[in-house]
Amino acid sequence: MTPVNKKAGTDPAAGAPPFSLFADKVLPVFHNTPFHETYYGLLERFAERKIRRLIISIPPQHGKSLGASVLLPAYILGLRPDTKITIASYNASLASRFNRRAQRVMDSEGYKACFPATAIRALSSRSDSVRTASHVEVSGRSGELMSVGREGSLTGNDVDVFILDDLYKDAMEANSPVVRDNCWEWYTSVVRTRLHNDSSELLVFTRWHEEDLIGILLKKEKHVILEEPSQLDGIDPSTWLVLNLEAIKEGPPTGIDPRMEGEALWPARHSRELLESKRALDPLRFACMYQGRPSVNEGLLYGDNFRVYARLPAAVHKRGNYTDTADLGDDYLCSVCYAVGEDGSVYVTDVVYSRERMEVTERQVAEMLCRNDTRAATFESNNGGRGFARAVGRLAPLARIGWFHQSGNKEARILSNSATVLRKIVMPSGWATRWPELYDHLVTYRRLYRANRWHDAADVLTGIVETEVLASSPKRIRHVKYASGF
């Protein structure tokens, strides 16, 4: 990833090492990967007060807390020994553990070499300086590091730097409206009241719910989604800078995250294969925790409510296909083969769901049509779909190819037909493993249309029920033009 620390040849403070070098000196097991360079570069800018309000969402077990809640407080106290820092987490025990680990860093010889002017009382010393598991003072200075659990008291303490690290213990807490409300009340009545004009805030979370603290702040306050290094210059102190680091990269590369589509964030420790196995177990939880795309069950359009079949019914009166080519350059081509049963249920039998170039997907779709003995295939002619249909027809001569221009509003079609999709579409058992991306995009698809990144899978299932279940509609039939040859 792209480092975001200061320009080469300069230091973050006179005589102080850059944050990543500091981490390497005080922590022999430090992992200096491209991802950590980016993460630590942002933490360095936060330590220098060039970023005053920072939100970073990171998957579990990727070094989030080590950087933000252990190394960063020690680093800030080295730069500015009079700084008052508070770390908060979902309970006091975890917050105190961060505090103790930060203290051990400050006891190390590496730390003393980096910041000889910043020291805390030795454990065997009888100094008047405070040193407990939850509160340590910098000797001879006014700086301190405190830790507190969510909903804990900070009466009488002003805070220069507030670090909030995972304020929800698990999904059960995050899914509790009571816990979320209490967390928000504590944040507004305790955290915000301890801050002053020059204070800084850092939120580092694994996302659990779209209405967690990060979700609420993004709805209520000014924020900028960080994608390019140029956005780091001249940030308004009152504006949140927001970075979501996905476990598996989605979307095109950016200046901040130049990974290609599908690359793992930390492949040496969490490979793409390992992450995909976790996604297959629970796509909804994976989307929240690992991809930073939280959603609530109440806000899902389909959820994991699709009917599933083990074997096709004995009586099948039609084998069809519906294909929608990609609308934009980074959209998916979605082509679904299906069988229609006597009861009108539509059984999905095969899928091509791909972002490959058309010369690749043309052959993939044609091979699928032949493999499934499909005799009637319908293509949306929008966005080059007619040319795609002609090319597929040449490769699958037994299939009767048809196309039409889809003029209906996509949002209205998807939302109004969602109940019919769940009632009539039947998926094969094991489809989550067979087509993981299709599964992920369908079961996490939200009712709030603009909240979804991809609409391709939902759009095609909608087109299938419009074609097969609602085919009696005269308007629908008039828009279909079949061609038996070329």
Q: Does position 2 have pLDDT exceeding 90, yes or no? A: no
More confident residue, 177 or 68: 68
pLDDT of res. 473: 42
Q: Does position 140 have pLDDT exceeding 70, yes or no? A: yes
Q: Does position 218 have pLDDT exceeding 80, yes or no? A: yes
Nearest to 369 by CA among 404, 345, 415, 336: 336
pLDDT digits (tens, 9 = 90+) for 200-212: 999 998 888 878 9
How far, CA to CA in Å, does 453 sit from each of 331, 357, 374, 448?
Answer: 9, 20, 31, 11
DSSP for 269-333? Answer: TS-HHHHHHHHHH-HHHHHHHTTS----GGGBSSTT--EEESS--S-EEEEEEEEE--SSTTSPE
Q: Does position 12 have pLDDT exceeding 50, yes or no? A: no
Q: Does position 7 have pLDDT exceeding 90, yes or no? A: no
Q: Which two tokens stand for residue 192?
A: 């915000």
413 exposure class (CB count in 10 Å sphere: 0-12, 13-18, 19+): middle
pLDDT of res. 6: 45
For 5-9, 199-203, 375-379, 435-439, which range has the lowest pLDDT when averaged over its residues? 5-9
d(CA 361, CA 333) in angstroms, rounded, equals 8
More confident residue, 486 or 388: 388
pLDDT digits (tens, 9 = 90+) for 46-76: 999 999 999 999 999 999 999 999 999 999 9
Radius of gyration of the chain (CA): 27
pLDDT digits (tens, 9 = 90+) for 345-360: 999 999 999 999 888 9
pLDDT digits (tens, 9 = 90+) for 229-275: 999 988 899 999 999 999 999 888 999 999 998 999 999 999 999 99
- What average pLDDT does this structure show over 432-451? 88
Query: pTM to 2 decimals?
Result: 0.68
Per DSSP bridges, beta strands 481-483 and 400-404 are antiparallel
Place of tokens 């980074």: 330
pLDDT digits (tens, 9 = 90+) for 33-44: 888 999 999 999
Q: Which amino acid is present at 376?
A: A
pLDDT of res. 298: 63
Highest mean pLDDT of the ranges 93-97, 178-182, 324-328, 399-403: 93-97
DSSP for 359-389? Answer: HHHHHHHHHHHHHTT--EEEEE-GGGHHHHH
Confidence of residue 484 (pLDDT cuts 50, 70, 90): very low
- Helices 213-220 and 177-186, axial angle in degrees (round to 10): 60
Which phi-psi region, left, alpha or beta, contains residue 344 (left: φ > 0; alpha: ψ -120 to 50)? left
Confidence of residue 283 (pLDDT cuts 50, 70, 90): confident
Per DSSP bridges, beta strands 135-137 and 144-149 are antiparallel
For 121-135, 252-266, 369-383, 427-441, which range has the lowest pLDDT when averaged over its residues? 121-135
Mean residue pLDDT of the chain comes to 88
